[in-house]
Chain A
Amino acid sequence: MTRMAATRDGYGQALLELAENKKVVVLEADLGKSTKSLHFRKAYPDRTISCGIGEQNMLLVAAGMASSGYIPFASTFAIFTERAFEQMRNGVARPKLAVHLCGSHGGTHTGTDGSSAQSIEDLAIYRTLPNVTVMHPSDEVSTRILTKQLATSPNPSYMRTARNKTPVLYDDVPEDSIQIGKGIELKNGSDVAIVACGVLVSEALKAADMLAGEGIHATVVDMHTIKPLDTGLIDEVAQRCGCIVTAEDHSVIGGLGGAVAEHLSMTSTTPLERVGVKDRFGESGQSDEMLELMQLSAPHIANAARRAIHRK
């Protein structure tokens, strides 16, 4: 039986594990219970800064602390990080201050809160900022491991976590087998490469199983880091498989699919199909209903794979 867990819990756990470094501080904008920074707050109240419901202030308080030698982890809902985008741009990315921003409850997967809460553009906007690492891990374990690695990164970062539980893929793996900027090949096939991130990695694995029933052997990559993109791995799977499908719970514009398309446009003519939110807003629904409505679930990824193979 696959263990189910939410990536936001991996984030909360990582903060606790990082706490022995006295320079690690946590900033909240009232949503610590939701983003899971609350565990750190309970254990280390002196190193947790409440910014009230004020995201713009939070980002720059974090920047000021980073300039003074601290390692700030700031979190709120993915959608609310966006109102502090210019603070992230001008106050964090431009002076390259290693502030780590976590946006939880990202994507349509966040569910019944509806379209106002379903950030489908966060990965795209942060990806446009020089110096910023952008990640969307697929499970609780990789989120924990990648969050811990951020504490020694010289770059600011944006990481999206998810509200709802997804299958845990990396129980018991050695921590150094997951690295910022290195995609993970979960399945090795030669007919099509499915490059996915976040909550759609487990859907991509299901899609690969469906395709295997038809004799189609798919490579599945967990591309948890959208920037810097692991272009070496993209080139490798493009050459081996001859076609690529990207899958993300995010707009088809500017996210993982956009990043892969930009790269392929310079290096090869490999056919690419992008599974993502098709330039529209969501609505209230359960996670599984949303993935279906938005055509992001395993059968849709499998369909995209068939289309990509047909275009070879």
Chain B
Amino acid sequence: MQPTIEELEELARKCRIEIVKMVYRAQAGHPGGSLSEIDLLAGLYGTTMRVRSDQPDWEDRDRFILSKGHASPGMYALLAERGFISHEDLKSYRVLGGVCQGHVDMKWCPGVDFSAGSLGMGLSYGMGCAIAAKLDGSERRAFVMLGDGEIQEGSIWEAAMAAAHHELGNLKVILDRNRIQNDDFCETQMRMFDIPAKWRAFGWNVKEIDGHNMNEVVEGMNYLSETNDGPSILIAHTVKGKGVSFMEDNPSFHGAAPNDEQYAQALSELGVKV
């Protein structure tokens, strides 16, 4: 049963709370990119991903590859809300022996299909998953989430070229265009000019959406599902730190935890009654 837009928005809100809690408890991690991606993850898992939380290694599941693996709190929060891991597990984020490693890791966490942490790798890996699905004659798809700063890595364009060459209609990318990378705004670090034109020129199907408008997010997921003549990319315009006012559009919260005061404010803004 397809959830309503309101249900998806509520799922994302709950995840946002967990993201803030995880980063606060660990006093480390990446809240900004987790908050920018989370509406997309909620939309993807809520409407599109064919996965089974009680059988995370089901062979014919769709694969999801969080290539921007530092945005792991978003992924963990979503996996907890969907029953792959427990809310108790979220307390293990960045803790010795915990399933929630600093960057998502398939060896540690159920529901994680790729050991990330180094940018520029997930698209190639997803391409391998997509080719394997085709060879198996399986309907499964590979969804890959990239960061916008991440596409400065040259290996992304090796993969982009190869995926179009191999006409991988079962390879679907979501680009979290939050305009901020580690040190500063992308525009300052490395101008990327016309990103949609670049992907089109590499032979991809391209659609742009507002990555925080759940109606558009769901439309975008439908576009990815229905576009099977070659690889497709959903360029989602997002706001880094979305949902917590002082983190929004603020390069300082790419990789920094809130202090006590900021934590209370963040929870309050996300509708938690303290």
Chain A residues within 8 Å of B, Cβ to Cβ: 25, 46-47, 49-52, 54, 56-70, 72, 86-87, 90-91, 94-96
Contact = CB atoms under 8 A, between A and B. Distances in A.
Nearest to B115: A95
A56 B125 contact: no
B132 A65 contact: yes
Nearest to A57: B158
Contacts of B105: 95
Contacts of A95: 105-107, 115
Contact of B165 (A52, A63, A67, A91): A52
B127 A64 contact: yes
A61 B125 contact: yes
Contacts of A51: 158, 162
Contacts of A90: 115, 117-118, 121
27 contacts: A46-B135, A47-B135, A49-B166, A50-B165, A51-B158, A51-B162, A52-B158, A54-B161, A56-B120, A57-B124, A63-B128, A64-B124, A64-B128, A64-B142, A65-B132, A67-B125, A67-B128, A67-B129, A69-B59, A69-B132, A69-B136, A87-B124, A87-B155, A90-B115, A90-B118, A95-B105, A96-B107
B131 A65 contact: yes
Contacts, number: 101
B231 interface: no
A90 B120 CA distance: 11
Interface residues of B, number: 32
Interface in B143-188: 154-155, 158-159, 161-162, 165-166
A297 to B, nearest CB: 40
Contacts of B117: 90
Interface in B82-123: 105-107, 113-115, 117-118, 120-121
A27 B105 CA distance: 25
B136 A68 contact: yes
The A contact surface, by secondary structure, is helix
Given A56-B124, A57-B127, A62-B128, A68 B162 contact: no
A55 B166 CA distance: 16
Given A65-B131, A94-B107, 18 more contacts: A49-B131, A54-B161, A57-B155, A60-B155, A60-B159, A61-B124, A61-B128, A61-B131, A63-B128, A64-B142, A67-B113, A67-B129, A68-B128, A68-B133, A69-B136, A86-B118, A91-B115, A95-B115
Contacts of A67: 106, 113-114, 125, 128-129, 132
Nearest to B117: A90
Contact of A68 (B120, B129, B165): B129
Contact of B162 (A25, A54, A91, A96): A54
B140 to A, nearest CB: 9
Contacts of A64: 124-132, 142
Nearest to A95: B115
| Most chain A CB within a 10 A radius of its CB, from B106, B117, B126, B155 | B155
A87 B119 CA distance: 10
Interface string B25-39: 000000000000000
A56 B118 contact: no
B158 A56 contact: yes
A192 B114 CA distance: 49
B157 to A, nearest CB: 9
Contacts of A69: 59, 132, 136
B216 to A, nearest CB: 29
Contacts of B154: 56
B162 A52 contact: yes
Contacts of A58: 124
A51 B158 CA distance: 8
A91 B161 contact: no
Given A54-B161, A91-B125, A70 B135 contact: yes
Given A61-B127, A64-B124, A64-B132, A94 B158 contact: no
Given A70-B135, A90-B117, A91-B115, A60 B128 contact: yes
Contacts of B158: 51-52, 54, 56-57
A47 B128 CA distance: 12
B51 to A, nearest CB: 15
A94 B115 contact: yes
Contacts of A94: 107, 115
A47 B158 CA distance: 20
Contacts of B128: 60-68, 72
Contacts of B127: 57, 60-61, 64
A57 B113 contact: no
A60 B132 contact: no
Interface string B242-274: 000000000000000000000000000000000
Query: Which of A64, A68, A87, A90 has its CB near the most chain B CB atoms (within 10 A)?
Result: A64
B98 to A, nearest CB: 17
A72 to B, nearest CB: 8
A240 B120 CA distance: 51
Nearest to A90: B118
Nearest to B127: A61
B102 to A, nearest CB: 13
B244 to A, nearest CB: 30
A87 B154 CA distance: 13
B46 to A, nearest CB: 25
